[in-house]
Structure 1
Amino acid sequence: MYVPGGIPLPSKSSARLAALTVAAVCSAASTVVLTSPAHADSVRIRDIQGTTRISPYAGKQVTDVAGIVTGIRTYGSSRGFWIQDPDADADPATSEGVFVFTGSTPKGVAVGDAVTVSGTVSEFVPGGTSSGNQAVTEITKPTVKVVSSGNPVPAPVLIDAGAVPDAYAPAGDPAANGSVNALPLRPATYALDLYEALEGMNVRVADARVVGATDPYTELWVTVKPDEHDNRRGGTVYGSYTAQNTGRIMIQSLGKPADFPKADVGDTLTGATTGPLDYNQFGGYTLVASELGTLESGGLERETTRKQKNGELAVATYNVENLDPSDDTFAAHAAAIVTNLRSPDIVSLEEIQDNNGATDDGTVAADRTVAKLIDAITAAGGPRYDWRAVDPVNNTDGGEPGGNIRQVFLFNPERVSFTDRAGGDANTATGVVRERGKAALTVSPGRVDPANEAWRNSRKPLVGEFVFRGRTVFVIANHFNSKGGDQGLTSQYQPPARSSEVQRHLQATAVNAFVKEILAVQKNADVVALGDINDFEFSGTAKALEGDGELWSAVKSLPRDERYSYVYQGNSQVLDQILISPAIRRGCDFEYDSVHLNAEFHDQISDHDPQVLRFRP
């Protein structure tokens, strides 16, 4: 599991801060005080916000800051209210709104109240300063006076395709380690500058298409640019590091969670969605809606691939998201494999947990987990799959502590046979030898170079030797390390750092080296490397896997707007890949399908879409 762009996705036992994502958790570690507190004369909100991302009054006390209350947050850890100056100036770089942090449920104020606020200006960094996130300008430790009530709320600023620039963010200042914090805001030039110039203000989007389904934390993503890298299913495709899709924005609600729409990609929030513009650690700029548009269904349906022909081998990869025997998703996963994937001959499963899931008691075997899934597949009308795997050493392969996730091969013994070669265990490396002029594994199933530092606290590749219609096929199942620790797309550092890819590059290099060993023995060997690569098809990770042509990512055979297996922050993107050796690619007799049945839906059973490759060995 992963959170592309930098934050690890929550697991089933995740300690994500609240059922409702809020602006952040207030702590001393995540508040930047630039100067010692000092008194300042009465100022306007625009003076506090200034023309850069950091307030010129940060750390100072301000008195009698006037504004109209536009929204009140009574839940989560960042409780308080927004105020906005109804008399805007002519400078588009200065926001007229600001958040007043009270810490507890605000009392004595209501939307429409004209108030004056005295307190200390702080720059609060959601997720802490180490996250690289931008800061939210706040007034803390406030003293509030209500001047009058029932005033009209300042009219919202419309955020639409014409308002949002195509350029995403300025390049950061090299003298500040790439930070954009001190750069003057240019809201007509850069999308992130526009959003920052509207921070805390009442804003509106209208008839906005959903590009990220409602998640368990009561949030969804829309785009205000319906034509921006759109695809036929209503999503917005992420196709390069320089195409950040500037029209995306997160939507949350100031209302009850039960009233939040359950939206899928391609749906539309018709009418107006209005509220203060906030910034949080999980999505960056967020419209916290006091008024939500009406959900109109786009009619999106789960995809079904075609059945493989008699002479075709169907190989699939499917991340089943921390599956353990206590889950209630076995029947749904079985239906997906049988109905939507049409019972592939070989299925590489990622994130199979051990027999007691996240219970951290030393259990590593996963036979109960796998047997329960196989039984469910048979009950759904699929084949009685056989399986192979290698148990990991306890708590050495990353993932949820105690869960011991690993890759597992399912295969249909009526169509495919598995060549067992004894000796494979968690610490034994599989080698390649020549047998009767062809490549063979020394152990099967086995692991690829498990002692390599590339796999520290990460899943080791599982490799197996299969035979289909007399032809040997080598399959390498992978689950590379996540993007945890990367800076988000809305980071104060531009371009954001992708520190996690260093390990993935090492992992990709190790897998490519193993493929080279196979091809050195048998040039025309059929090799498939597949799994949750946790990186894009255009990434350095993919290039290292492909090497000098030893492998090729077959997702690139699809049109660009169909290349995705995961949706994160409204970006439809590739994480799961199937790579093929030259013998498979040269024949041009293969077909690739990214089967969209999870990532775009609010009721997903996994956050990944499975991938299927059909070819004739």
Structure 2
Amino acid sequence: MPSKSSARLAALTVAAACSAATTLVLVSPAHAAAVRIHDVQGTTRTSPYAGQKVTDVAGIVTGVRTYGSSKGFWIQDPNPDDDPATSEGVFVFTSSTPKVGLGDSVTVSGTVSEFVPGGTTSGNQSVTEITKPTVTVLSSGNAVPAATVIDARSVPAAYAPAGDPAANNSVNGLPLQPSTYALDHYESLEGMNVQVADTRVVTATDPYTELWVTVKPRENASRRGGTVYGSYDAQNTGRLQIQSLGRTADFPVANVGDVLEGTTAGPLDYNQFGGYTLVANQLGTLRSAGLERESTEKQKNGELAVATYNVENLDPSDATFEAHASAIVNNLKSPDIVSLEEIQDNNGATDDGTVAADVTVNKLIDAIVAAGGPRYDWRSIDPADDTDGGEPGGNIRQVFLFNPERVSFTDRAGGDATTAVGVQRLRGKAALTVSPGRIDPADTAWKSSRKPLVGEFVFRGRTVIVIANHFNSKGGDQGLTSHYQPPVRSSETQRHQQATLVNAFVKDVLDTQKNADVIALGDINDFEFSGTAQILEGDGELWSAIKSLPRSERYTYDYQGNQQVLDQILVSPSIRRGCDFEYDSVHINSEFHDQISDHDPQVLRFHP
């Protein structure tokens, strides 16, 4: 697939039509418009004029987009109707650089279109646009219609109406209820000049020059300034994406908890990567909250420290080895065992059949030593070429690092990409048939996905079985702002199958040895309250230790203004019953604009 940045940029700038605009500048007024903007927008999510030509739609220019291929401008009727469901603004798609300016009074004739960012199969809502326009400038220098305030009082607490079952649960045909549902409220303002004030940043500035704020500072707030996502049924309604019509260099570089002081104002747009977005003509002033990266506690002599860390497609060409090494040594305090996810092969995305990752892993180990940490040993299994998903050619896999001065690895020959690990009884204890091994690698649950890596470790004479996971991603799921409500989470079907297999393997271990110490950890790509987690936990075979934290501290990832759990460490009953474990989600990445991975690592410390 194309690179993340190029694919995303293309998606952000895909336009609804490609015909050039015609712009006429007249001195005398044009004829009165037959159709007003609120008529074009209508009282549902789709225009009653979709596919039809409209003539002399009047408005004041409130924003001009001159970059990308989605060039155009927004207009707003300065004389609104009295229906709160009908927006008074609309986007005019020109495809070339618009020849209008802020404050111009114009009339627009063209075809009304419903453009779906990401395509109709994405489930995204559509944006009402006027395409193939003929634009007449009547006058310039007019006052821009006052921005509508979006704040905690104006945005309803309920997120979205249930979709119409007769329309596959789509809300497109439902009358908007902007005083009842947050998504309806935002939709009723689509294309209009809006403003927020003194808003806290809840997702840091990303490489695409955007960030997220909340207009509801008390809504599920984390102690570090974010907004925690804790339920499918209780969406965070105050989240709003911020982009800018100004220079990229002028965009604030913000971390979670920072504040955009003063007014941020501009047209309300909708895009593929986040839904409703304030595209600012005016940006507030950034005030830093001084957020610092966390460090966990060092494990005691009798404690075993086990960590999981997604290092985001790490290969030898990356410049992040020193930073990752410093994080492992200084922030994670050199755990005894580290499960690494997204270790790529020795030449990264070059798709030439290379599957070995020894260069990648040893480069990281050397960097850890240089940072003052231990010289870790490691175990992994090379995947068959191009079978485990991830970046094409990258052959990502899980890798165990372990400190041989503190813990030993029990090697049992025979583990490879296609051989299934089993459980046996040795001297009355559960043991692996191969170590390292993979769980049911031929099962269709792992098609184009990472197979779990299982290893047998010994700490102070006690065996600990560790399962390193990287489940199927959420790619393909409908977004929270989808016109299908509730959104369809199609990707979880495969995760449920994967969770079933891992739970069955853990059950085999516990059936062999009831008090076995088993840890299943890694990038589960699903929430601690999800069906995936419930299947993994089963009938008590495992328990997600992140639930030992207060709800306001349960997150490992920050996406579209929601701090959420994707990475988990699940433990068997013998560890949970001990009640002497400590769990820590170490926030070093997800809240920061200069993150070296999009995941935060987690550490579990316990006495085996």
Is the structural similarity TM-score above 0.5? yes
2:157 is aligned with 1:171:
no
- Among 333, 338, 349, the alignment partner of 2:324 is 333
Give the secondary structure class of the aligned counterpart of 1:171.
Answer: coil
Give the secondary structure class of the aligned counterpart of 1:503.
Answer: helix
Give the secondary structure class of the aligned counterpart of 1:15.
Answer: helix
Deviation at 1:23, TM superposition (A): 6.1
Q: Deviation digits for residues 492-548 of structure 1, max 9, x if unmatched?
A: 000000000000000000000000111111000000000000000000000000000
- Among 67, 74, 89, the alignment partner of 2:66 is 74
- Among 33, 50, 67, the alignment partner of 2:42 is 50
Deviation at 1:24, TM superposition (A): 4.3
Aligned residue identity for 2:325: A
Q: Deviation digits for residues 339-393 of structure 1, max 9, x if unmatched?
A: 0000000000000000000000000000000000000000000000000000000
Aligned residue identity for 2:343: I
Deviation at 1:88, TM superposition (A): 1.0
Aligned residue identity for 1:225: K
User: 1:76-475, aligned counterparts within 5 Å?
Assistant: 76-107=68-99, 109-475=100-466
Deviation at 1:278, TM superposition (A): 0.1
Give the secondary structure class of the aligned counterpart of 1:510.
Answer: helix
Give the secondary structure class of the aligned counterpart of 2:515.
Answer: coil
Q: Paired residue for 1:34?
A: none
| 8 Å contact from structure 2 (residues 17, 95) kept in 1 | no
Deviation at 1:22, TM superposition (A): 3.7
Alpha-carbon distance between aligned partners in 1 of 2:434 and 2:561, rounded to the nearest angstrom: 43
Aligned residue identity for 1:177: N
Deviation at 1:18, TM superposition (A): 2.0
Q: Deviation digits for residues 3-30 of structure 1, max 9, x if unmatched?
A: xxxxxxx9955532428x74644369xx
| 8 Å contact from structure 2 (residues 585, 602) kept in 1 | yes
Aligned residue identity for 1:401: P
Give the secondary structure class of the aligned counterpart of 1:578.
Answer: strand
| 8 Å contact from structure 2 (residues 33, 107) kept in 1 | no
| 8 Å contact from structure 1 (residues 26, 77) kept in 2 | no
Deviation at 1:231, TM superposition (A): 1.2
- Among 16, 41, 55, the alignment partner of 1:26 is 16
- Structure 1 residue ranges (4+ consecutive) displaced by more than 4 angstroms after TM superposition: 10-14
Which runs of 5 or more structure 2 residues have no equivalent in the other structure? 19-31
Computed over aligned residues only, the root mean square deviation of the Cα atoms, in angstroms, reads: 1.3
| 8 Å contact from structure 1 (residues 23, 279) kept in 2 | no
1:13–1:570 CA distance, 2 compared to 1 (3 A): closer
Deviation at 1:105, TM superposition (A): 1.2
| 8 Å contact from structure 2 (residues 33, 57) kept in 1 | no
Q: Paired residue for 1:488?
A: 479
| 8 Å contact from structure 1 (residues 284, 490) kept in 2 | yes
| 8 Å contact from structure 1 (residues 441, 465) kept in 2 | yes
Q: Deviation digits for residues 72-102 of structure 1, max 9, x if unmatched?
A: 0001121100000001111110000000000
Alpha-carbon distance between aligned partners in 1 of 2:480 and 2:93, rounded to the nearest angstrom: 26
Alpha-carbon distance between aligned partners in 1 of 2:173 and 2:235, rounded to the nearest angstrom: 22
Deviation at 1:51, TM superposition (A): 0.3
Q: Paired residue for 1:525?
A: 516
Aligned residue identity for 1:594: S
Q: Deviation digits for residues 6-57 of structure 1, max 9, x if unmatched?
A: xxxx9955532428x74644369xxxxxxxxxxx982000000000001000
Q: Deviation digits for residues 168-221 of structure 1, max 9, x if unmatched?
A: 000000000000000000000000000000000000000000000000000000
Which runs of 5 or more structure 1 residues have no equivalent in the other structure? 1-9, 29-39
| 8 Å contact from structure 2 (residues 86, 188) kept in 1 | yes
- Among 467, 480, 488, the alignment partner of 1:497 is 488
Deviation at 1:152, TM superposition (A): 0.3
1:376–1:12 CA distance, 2 compared to 1 (3 A): farther
Alpha-carbon distance between aligned partners in 2 of 1:559 and 1:12, rounded to the nearest angstrom: 37
Alpha-carbon distance between aligned partners in 1 of 2:377 and 2:15, rounded to the nearest angstrom: 47
| 8 Å contact from structure 2 (residues 14, 70) kept in 1 | yes
Alpha-carbon distance between aligned partners in 1 of 2:505 and 2:376, rounded to the nearest angstrom: 27
Q: Paired residue for 1:36?
A: none
- Provide the aligned length of Structure 1 versus Structure 2: 595
Aligned residue identity for 2:157: D
Q: Which has the higher contact order (CA 8 A, sep 6+)?
A: 1
Alpha-carbon distance between aligned partners in 2 of 1:15 and 1:260, rounded to the nearest angstrom: 20
Q: Paired residue for 1:37?
A: none
Alpha-carbon distance between aligned partners in 2 of 1:149 and 1:99, rounded to the nearest angstrom: 19
Q: Paired residue for 1:63?
A: 55
Aligned residue identity for 1:69: V
1:305–1:222 CA distance, 2 compared to 1 (3 A): same
Q: Deviation digits for residues 306-353 of structure 1, max 9, x if unmatched?
A: 000000000000000000000000000000000000000000000000
Q: Deviation digits for residues 200-251 of structure 1, max 9, x if unmatched?
A: 0000000000000000000000000000000110000000001110000000
Alpha-carbon distance between aligned partners in 2 of 1:12 and 1:467, rounded to the nearest angstrom: 41
2:502 is aligned with 1:511:
yes
Using structure 1 for the length normalisation, give the TM-score: 0.95
Give the secondary structure class of the aligned counterpart of 2:153.
Answer: coil
Alpha-carbon distance between aligned partners in 1 of 2:93 and 2:277, rounded to the nearest angstrom: 17
Alpha-carbon distance between aligned partners in 2 of 1:52 and 1:67, rounded to the nearest angstrom: 21
- Among 498, 516, 539, the alignment partner of 2:530 is 539
Deviation at 1:125, TM superposition (A): 0.4
Alpha-carbon distance between aligned partners in 1 of 2:460 and 2:72, rounded to the nearest angstrom: 67
Give the secondary structure class of the aligned counterpart of 2:406.
Answer: coil
